[in-house]
């Protein structure tokens, strides 16, 4: 490894900016992050936010390549990077949107997202994690699940994203546990494996129970002193159960690779294993970096 920054990999989401300063041999010199997510920036604010985080590391007299994935390429982001449409390989830097900058030391590209016409769906950032997983697991054929605020299920075949669906599970959990009447009954910590498993099972076998059982968490704490951690596990189980019921065409009879931070992936793993689905775990941040490296490498060969 040498310490000259050759290019910069960046994951720019709604609530975070994460960069890796890369050397010429594919090694990471340094990882940095900031809270300057797309959600708090106007288009004019992106370049200054990037310079604040990496300006001191940019060599003079040369334009350093910056390859970005994620919401920075959304309509409300830095510059809109169009979508590639499934079926397609995860986009490379060749298809990326080149963004003009004031600072001559930057040469910025934003990777395109992926869209699906019917049923209408979009992703930005997850396609790069998928690219990273495929770079490490060439020839993988099966399902990739990316749990999170907006969980994605993608069918992968012959190196392509064939189809995918998005579920608002993480956002629903945050809204219900933090802002609805359930906030009085659902604790911010605590867990109960049995309550989670039972809730998953109930909603998967009878998905209409979701609407009926949500308020039961509030009533259960008022009438029967339902524990806040148990309520938390049950709410998570209901929402993940609803997601699994809807995503059944994806995972039934398939192997599933779960790409996520371990805290987010763990309940999905438990729920899928209860359905006898073989699950492989992979860390989402690592997959993002590998995907950015793959995108950059593709560009270099053209």
Q: Which residues bind a copy of itself (CB under 8 A)?
A: 75, 83, 115-117, 119-122, 150, 165-169, 171-172, 175-176, 179-182, 206-216, 218-220, 222-224, 226, 239, 242-243, 245-248
What is the C-alpha separation between 189 and 146, in angstroms, rounded? 23
Say which residue the tokens 């599933």 belong to.
256
Tell me the three-class secondary structure of the chain, residue by residue: CCCCCCEEEEEECCCCEEEEEECCCCCEEEEEEECCCHHHCCHHHHHHHHHHHHHHHCCCCCCEEEEEECHHHCCCCCCCCCEEECCECCCCHHHCEEECCCCCCEEEEECCEEEECCCCEEECCHHHHHHHHHHHCCCCCEEEEECCCCEEEEEEECCEEEEEEEECHHHHHHHHHHCCHHHHCCCCCCCCHHHHHHHHHHHHHCCCHHHHHHHHHHHHHHHHCCCHHHHHHHHHHHHHHHHHHHCHHHHCCCCEEEECCHHHHHHHHHHHHHCCCCEEEECHHHHHHHHHHHHHHHHHCC
**For a copy of itself, the closer CB: 31 or 206:** 206
Two tokens, residue 197:
């498993």
**For a copy of itself, the closer CB: 145 or 182:** 182
Contact 9, 292 (CB under 8 A): yes
**For a copy of itself, the closer CB: 44 or 208:** 208
What are the CA-CA distances from residue 66 to residues 7, 8, 103, 283 (Å)? 6, 5, 12, 23
**For a copy of itself, the closer CB: 219 or 297:** 219
**For a copy of itself, the closer CB: 42 or 301:** 42
Residue 264 beta carbon to a copy of itself: minimum distance, rounded to whole angstroms: 17
Residue 199 beta carbon to a copy of itself: minimum distance, rounded to whole angstroms: 13
Residue 280 beta carbon to a copy of itself: minimum distance, rounded to whole angstroms: 23
Residue 48 beta carbon to a copy of itself: minimum distance, rounded to whole angstroms: 25
**For a copy of itself, the closer CB: 68 or 244:** 244
Residue 246 beta carbon to a copy of itself: minimum distance, rounded to whole angstroms: 4
**For a copy of itself, the closer CB: 220 or 229:** 220
Residue 208 beta carbon to a copy of itself: minimum distance, rounded to whole angstroms: 4
Residue 84 beta carbon to a copy of itself: minimum distance, rounded to whole angstroms: 13
Backbone angles phi, psi at 18, to 5 degrees: -130, 130
Residue 107 beta carbon to a copy of itself: minimum distance, rounded to whole angstroms: 28
**For a copy of itself, the closer CB: 47 or 213:** 213
């Amino acid at each position: 490894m040498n310490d000259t920054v050759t290019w910069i990999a960046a994951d720019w989401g709604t609530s975070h900016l994460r960069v890796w300063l890369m050397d010429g041999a594919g090694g990471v010199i340094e990882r940095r992050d900031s809270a300057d997510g797309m959600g708090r920036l106007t288009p004019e604010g992106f370049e200054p936010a990037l310079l604040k985080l990496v300006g001191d590391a940019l060599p003079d007299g040369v334009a350093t390549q910056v390859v970005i994935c994620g919401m920075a390429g959304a309509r409300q982001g830095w510059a809109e990077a169009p979508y590639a449409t499934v079926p397609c390989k995860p986009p490379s830097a060749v298809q990326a949107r080149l963004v003009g900058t004031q600072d001559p030391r930057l040469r910025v590209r934003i990777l395109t997202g992926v869209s699906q016409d019917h049923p209408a769906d979009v992703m930005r950032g997850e396609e790069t994690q998928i690219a990273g997983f495929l770079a490490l697991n060439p020839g993988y054929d099966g399902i990739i699940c990316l749990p999170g605020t907006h969980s994605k299920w993608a069918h992968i075949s012959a190196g392509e994203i064939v189809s995918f669906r998005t579920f608002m599970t993480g956002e629903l959990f945050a809204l219900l546990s933090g802002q609805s009447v359930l906030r009085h009954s659902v604790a911010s910590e605590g867990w109960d494996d049995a309550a989670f498993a039972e809730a998953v099972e109930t909603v998967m076998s009878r998905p209409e129970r979701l609407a009926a059982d949500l308020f039961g968490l509030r009533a259960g704490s008022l009438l029967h002193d339902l524990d806040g951690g148990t309520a938390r596990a049950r709410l998570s189980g209901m929402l993940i159960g609803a997601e699994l019921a809807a995503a059944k065409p994806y995972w039934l009879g398939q192997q599933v690779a779960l790409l996520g931070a371990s805290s987010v992936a763990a309940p999905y793993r438990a729920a899928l294993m209860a359905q006898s689905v073989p699950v492989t775990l992979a860390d989402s941040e690592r997959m993002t970096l590998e995907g950015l490296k793959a995108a950059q490498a593709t560009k270099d060969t053209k």
